[in-house]
Amino acid sequence: MKIKINTHIIDVKKVSGFGKFLGLMFKQKNNADALLFEFNKPTHLKIHSFFVFFPFIAVWLDEDNKLIEIKKIEPFRLSIGPNRKFSKLIEIPINKKYKNLCKFVADAKHLNSF
């Protein structure tokens, strides 16, 4: 599945059910795909990065795919989320597959170098 954020198109794997619980947990860095979590209504849900053994980028969007917030998430962090409600979350592993996208996000949002 593809999702458009501003002018960038990201290839994502939509997750549901148990996949929403697991996210990137226990995945291997180089084989991990970007994941899309969609929620039925806007939420303040917090995420964690326990058992995610590599950093990733979290992108929170509203129902119209407008950017709410982007954060670089380090492994084994607790209670991470934006200040506003969101409808979608994309988790993008920082790996070779998403190198160009991660660099763009880092440059655009002044995040730490990847």
Dihedral of the CA atoms 57, 9, 11, 96 (nearest 10)? -50
Label the pairing between strands 2-5 and 8-11. antiparallel
What's the pLDDT at 59?
92
pLDDT tens, N- to C-terminus, the chain (114 residues)? 888 766 777 889 999 887 777 898 989 999 999 999 999 999 999 999 999 999 999 999 999 988 899 999 999 999 999 999 999 999 999 998 887 776 666 655 544 433
pLDDT at 2: 84
Q: Domain 2-109 is of which CATH architecture?
A: Sandwich (2.60)
CB atoms within 10 A of CB 97: 17
DSSP secondary structure letter of residue 24: T
The model's pTM: 0.85
Under 8 Å between Cβ of 68 and 61: yes
pLDDT recorded at residue 83 = 92
Confidence at residue 96, expressed as pLDDT on a 0 to 100 scale: 87
Tally of CA atoms within 13 A in the half-sphere of 83 that contains its CB = 0
d(CA 72, CA 85): 19
